[in-house]
Structure 1
């Protein structure tokens, strides 16, 4: 019988977020929002750029008592027709271990694929682990990386996973409003509006025509298939990082919470 491997060690601690416990706990401080949800969209990047978005989004879920937490984000690699789950027992964070739902992953089949390299190299889920460890200690997580923005992949994944999830599942989607590219503000504004309107068709059209889709469109589409009726509401205003100003590259961030009413 297959047994998963060891623990995943942090890759970007001390670079994207504080590696020291005291400083990190200060960054995680937040007040619970009045409106609580079981699904949020958060951006990925260094805390210098995305911390406010993370704090506001997590404030909408901290009062939840989930049985399982799904962390789902993109891979920053070449597209592949797989949804990757980790070959790890735990994900390490500066605040302690975050256990992987190994009993659930052992039941997954194609398009889900056991993987170590993608999860080892990917930061989009790692930056969420301190919040998960702080506010949901010892709760199992199902970390997933979408290899492609594909509805076929989404439908196949939903068909297999839907019946395996507990009723109290918390969904945390890692997605930026835009890719790291030139002149993306207009696209980011459109993407934000389409997310709140639930216009996933327009998001897919952008993906096919211009490649200005959210960096995390696949995860958005996947969770949309798993959630009941409702709509996304913004937690924060859009912000921009221009980390490569010489080439005119920028990326846009925003966070959302899911309103079931």
Structure 2
């Protein structure tokens, strides 16, 4: 049995599942106490956008998205994120049998992986799969979704229109949900970051992929553009769930990274 080993546990998120659970419980208490529009918690998304920084910075923003994703009772979760470490042309699928998380392993849908390789020219480039943008989502999935099967797609130089075709095909299955991973602007002061990130947020809220090219600096912009095309085609509604920056955790407003989460239902 081949295993997609965790590559960034102990760096981006804790190794200990109890420590992660305590974080999630803490975030959920804040949500329950402070969220004004509780109807958001009843959303049943077909897809979500989540950040991928270290949990101390971005896990609150991701947590609310995965909390609503569990409402779907989906059987399969496909996680799509940009490659940060390895040059990659196109899309690579993690073709292993299972995926390691602190909560236990997740089964990888090998049959679907083979189907995407055959139908869309997706490849398996093994060195692309020590990627944090996708891995940090897996503990959330195991915690909130239980024994679902997963698929990890990592993209590099890719046409958003082609990635949109893949996502559209995946969402034909009502038991499948899609997770798009991205952070927003990187290392600007808080005012500049807020200004740039507002472009990304507006583009998502209005399902306007063209607006992304007017200054949005999301590292996963290709994935965001792809899901916006699909959401528009399928008549989904976008709901912004959370936005914040690293300054919310660090207090440093001189060089921040932006994070958002959104749901498409």
TM-score higher than 0.5: yes
Contact kept in structure 2, 1:81 and 1:153, CA below 8 Å: no
- CA 1:230–1:165 in structure 2 vs 1: closer, same or farther (change >3 Å)? closer
Contact kept in structure 2, 1:82 and 1:153, CA below 8 Å: no
Whether 1:175 and 2:182 are equivalent positions in the alignment is yes
Q: CA deviation at 1:78?
A: 6.0
- Secondary structure of the equivalent of 1:96? coil
Match of 1:135 in 2: 144
- Higher-helix-fraction structure: 2
Aligned runs of 1:8-19 on 2, under 5 Å?
Answer: 8-19=4-15
Match of 2:105 in 1: 97
Whether 1:113 and 2:88 are equivalent positions in the alignment is no
Match of 2:36 in 1: none
Q: Distance in 1 between matches of 2:66 and 2:237?
A: 17
Match of 2:206 in 1: 197
- CA 1:252–1:155 in structure 2 vs 1: closer, same or farther (change >3 Å)? closer
Match of 2:23 in 1: 27
- Secondary structure of the equivalent of 1:135? helix
- Secondary structure of the equivalent of 2:257? strand
Q: CA deviation at 1:53?
A: 0.5
Stretches of structure 1 lacking an aligned partner (at least 5 in a row)? 207-211
TM-score, normalised via structure 1 length: 0.82
- Secondary structure of the equivalent of 1:192? helix
Q: Distance in 2 between matches of 1:73 and 1:34?
A: 26
Match of 1:124 in 2: 133
Match of 1:223 in 2: 227
- CA 1:181–1:153 in structure 2 vs 1: closer, same or farther (change >3 Å)? farther
Q: Distance in 2 between matches of 1:170 and 1:204?
A: 26
Q: Distance in 2 between matches of 1:192 and 1:225?
A: 15
Contact kept in structure 2, 1:42 and 1:256, CA below 8 Å: yes
Q: Distance in 2 between matches of 1:231 and 1:166?
A: 18
CA RMSD for the aligned pairs?
Answer: 2.7
Aligned runs of 1:152-167 on 2, under 5 Å?
Answer: 152-154=161-163, 157=166, 162=169, 165-167=172-174
Structure 1 stretch 191-200 or stretch 28-37: which is displaced more? 28-37
TM-score, normalised via structure 2 length: 0.81
Q: CA deviation at 1:89?
A: 1.3
Q: CA deviation at 1:250?
A: 2.8
Contact kept in structure 2, 1:95 and 1:130, CA below 8 Å: yes
Whether 1:87 and 2:95 are equivalent positions in the alignment is yes
Q: CA deviation at 1:240?
A: 3.2
Of the candidates 52, 56, 81, which is equivalent to residue 60 of structure 2? 52
- CA 1:54–1:6 in structure 2 vs 1: closer, same or farther (change >3 Å)? same
- CA 1:181–1:101 in structure 2 vs 1: closer, same or farther (change >3 Å)? farther
Stretches of structure 2 lacking an aligned partner (at least 5 in a row)? 33-39
Whether 1:233 and 2:239 are equivalent positions in the alignment is yes
